[in-house]
Amino acid sequence: MSTEFQGFELIKQGAEGRLFRGSYLGKPTIVKERFRKTYRHPDLDDYLTKERMKAEARAIVRSKAAGVRTPSIFLVDFERRRIYMEDIKPSITVKKFITDSLLGCSGEDALGKIKPVALEVGSIVGKLHAHNIIHGDLTTSNMLYSISEDGQITVTLIDFGLSHVENSAEDKGVDLYVLERALLSTHANADKLFPIIMQSYKKANNKDSKTVLDKFEDVRARGRKRTMVG
C-alpha cells in the first residue's frame, strides 16, 4: 500500500480512500486513491472499487454536460486505483462554510449569509436530477464552496463514487432524503436550510419535481415507520 508518490502529499483519509495533493502535467491536482479495504472480501473490494471509479468518472463527465461544476478528470488509473482530478482552490467544504457562518452570528444574519449558497446547492442538485444523475451521497462534506473576487459564488460537487444514472423518481427521492438527513444531523439550522434548497431545486428540475417530491415523502414515511421495533 503506497501512501506517498513522487511530488504528492497525503492530505486526508476520506471515507472512500486517501487524498493526495500535488501537480500533474503542470496542473494543481488531487489524487484519490481507493486503497484496498482489507476488512472486506477481496472479490467484493475489487468489484466495488472498480464500479465506483467508473461511476465517479462517468458522472463527473455527465454532470459537466448538465452544467454542474465538478472537478475535471485528468487520469483514471484502474491498476493503481487512482483518479487524478482538478484541485479546486481556493475552496472549503459547504459544511465548513455553514458551520463558520453560524459562529458568532445571530441566526437571522447567518441565514442571510448562507441563503445564496443553499440556493446554489438546490439548483445544482436540481440540474443533476433533470439529467437523471443520482449522486448517491449528497452531504455538505461533498460540496465545495468558493467565491470569486467579484463575489460570484460557486458550489462544486465532488465524490461521485456512489452515483448512477437513473430516471426513476424513487432514486431521486432517496437522493433528496439522504441530503435532508445529512443536513439535519450536521447543521443546527437545517430545518430552515432545506426548504431554501428545495425552492431552487424545484426551479432547476421543474420537469419532474412534483413526482420526485411525492416519492421523497414516501421514502420519509418509510423511514419513520421503520422505527417500530427496538
Partner 1 sequence: MVIAIGFEGSANKLGIGIVKDGVVLSNCRRTYITPPGEGFLPRETAQHHRENALVVLQEALDEAKVKPEEIDVVCYTKGPGMGAPLVSTSVVALTVAQLWNKPVIGVNHCIGHIEMGRLITGANNPTVLYVSGGNTQVIAYSRRRYRIFGETIDIAVGNCLDRFARVLKLSNDPSPGYNIEQLAKKGKKLLKMPYVVKGMDVSFSGILSFMEERSQGLLGSGEYTPEDLCFSLQETIFAMLIETTERAMAHCESSEVLIVGGVGCNLRLQEMMGIMCKERNAKLFATDERFCIDNGAMIAQAGIEMFNHGWKTPWEETTCTQRYRTDDVEVIWRD
Residue nearer to partner 1 on the CB measure, 8 or 177: 177
Q: What are phi and psi of 4, to 5 degrees?
A: -135, 145
Q: How many alpha carbons lie under 13 Å from residue 87 in its C-beta half-sphere? A: 18
Interface pattern 168-197 for partner 1 (x via CB under 8 A): ------xx-xx--xx-xxx-x---------
Q: Strand 82-86 and strand 27-33: pairing? A: antiparallel
Helix ranges, 66-105 (H): 94-102
User: Helix (H, G, I), strand (E, B), or coil: what is residue 86?
Assistant: strand
Residue nearer to partner 1 on the CB measure, 40 or 89: 40
Instruction: Compute the least distance from the CB of residue 139 to partner 1, in Å.
Output: 6
Residue 103 binds to partner 1 (criterion: CB under 8 A): no
User: Helix (H, G, I), strand (E, B), or coil: what is residue 203?
Assistant: helix
User: How many residues interact with partner 1 (rule CB under 8 A)?
Assistant: 40
Instruction: Compute the least distance from the CB of residue 179 to partner 1, in Å.
Output: 8
Question: Are 20 and 7 contacting, i.e. CB atoms less than 8 angstroms apart?
Answer: no
In angstroms, rounded to a whole number, what is the distance separating the alpha carbons of residues 198 and 96? 21
What residues are labeled active site?
137
Instruction: Compute the least distance from the CB of residue 30 to partner 1, in Å.
Output: 15
Interface with partner 1 (CB under 8 A): 13-15, 35, 37-41, 43-44, 47-48, 95, 136-139, 141, 162, 174-175, 177-178, 181-182, 184-186, 188, 219, 222-230
